[in-house]
């Protein structure tokens, strides 16, 4: 049976709603197709960063990297986190850009948005704004963001070209990307990727390295780079993705 884009999106939404509820109930979320491990989640943040955060923000971390560590955030900047989940990267970003800056988090899941708002309040953050929406249609004006980050979310999109185009739209000229994502080695076909893990498990929907690079350039980005950081499956890697809006 063929799965439609809307069915995939609903499956992703349901999976992450369940993860948020699990964290609130005292459990933890996980990305990948099994239990949390060192390839995903809180283990990718250092102890000092985790100590700055509410425990539920740490436990709700479902990412494959630490985008705030590579985004070179500066005081006074406006940051957007696509797929903000429990708010871990928004909270860290808000601290780095300071009171003169602002950190937006965008998520389509009510349960995650509620958890993120609770975590930001507990962390004493008042320069964070959480928005409901899908990453293919970012609810912000054009040229309104200095830096865009995302943590293991773009691979879950049902229309990645639309996501990259939207990132180019909302970033100011010279604006920067600092994305963590799962990326496939070029020889792996979409079918090869699907054999290594599910769509909701952050594997089957991943772009290849060259697909990512070409997609970013087509959307209007320069100085594009995709750097593998650690293996998450055979031929699949956590990666740091960077680019500058032309």
Q: What CATH number is given to the structural domain containing 122?
A: 3.40.50.150
Q: Angle CA(234)–CA(235)–CA(237) in degrees, nearest 5?
A: 100
Q: How many domains does the chain have?
A: 1
pLDDT of residue 35: 41
Cα–Cα distance for residue pair 16/204, rounded to 1 Å? 17
Is residue 44 within 8 Å of residue 235, measured between CB atoms?
Answer: no
pLDDT in tens, 46-76: 555 555 555 655 554 556 777 887 788 999 9
CA distance 226 to 208: 10
Beta strands 78-82 and 145-151, pairing class: parallel
**The model's pTM:** 0.86
Contact (CB, 8 A) for 174 and 245 = yes
The predicted structure's pLDDT at residue 74: 96
2 against 163, higher pLDDT: 163
Nearest to 180 by CA among 151, 215, 147, 200: 151
**pLDDT for residue 68:** 82
Q: Are 85 and 61 in contact (CB under 8 A)?
A: yes
Which whole number is the average pLDDT over 174-184? 96
Q: What is the mean pLDDT of the chain?
A: 86
Using the structure block, give the residue that is written with the tokens 């509620």. 114
Contact status, residue 123 vs residue 57, Cβ threshold 8 Å: yes
Q: Which domain holds residue 149?
A: 5-245
pLDDT at 191: 95
At 2, is the pLDDT very low, low, confident or very high (cuts 50, 70, 90)? low
* Candidate from 17-21, 170-174, 204-208 with smallest mean pLDDT: 17-21
């Amino acid at each position: 049976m063929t799965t439609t884009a809307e069915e995939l999106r609903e499956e992703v939404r349901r999976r992450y709603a369940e993860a948020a509820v699990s964290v609130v109930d005292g459990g933890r979320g996980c990305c990948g197709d099994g239990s949390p491990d060192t390839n995903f989640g809180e283990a990718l943040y250092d102890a000092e960063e985790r100590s700055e955060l509410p425990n539920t923000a740490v436990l709700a971390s479902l990412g494959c990297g630490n985008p705030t560590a590579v985004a070179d955030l500066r005081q006074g900047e406006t940051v957007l986190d696509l797929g903000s989940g429990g708010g871990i990267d928004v909270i860290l970003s808000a601290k780095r850009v300071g009171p003169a800056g602002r950190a937006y988090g965008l998520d389509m899941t009510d349960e995650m948005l509620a958890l993120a708002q609770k975590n930001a309040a507990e962390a004493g953050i008042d320069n964070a704004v959480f928005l409901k929406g899908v990453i293919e249609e970012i609810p912000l004006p054009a040229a309104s963001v200095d830096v865009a980050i995302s943590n293991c979310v773009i691979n879950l999109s049902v229309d990645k070209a639309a996501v990259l185009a939207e990132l180019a739209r909302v970033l100011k000229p010279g604006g920067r990307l600092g994305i963590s994502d799962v990326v496939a080695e070029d020889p792996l076909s979409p079918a090869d990727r699907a054999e290594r893990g599910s769509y909701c498990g952050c594997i089957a929907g991943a772009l290849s390295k060259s697909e990512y690079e070409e997609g970013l350039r087509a959307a209007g980005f320069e100085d594009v780079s995709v750097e593998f950081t650690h293996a998450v499956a055979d031929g699949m890697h956590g990666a740091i993705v960077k680019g500058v809006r032309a």
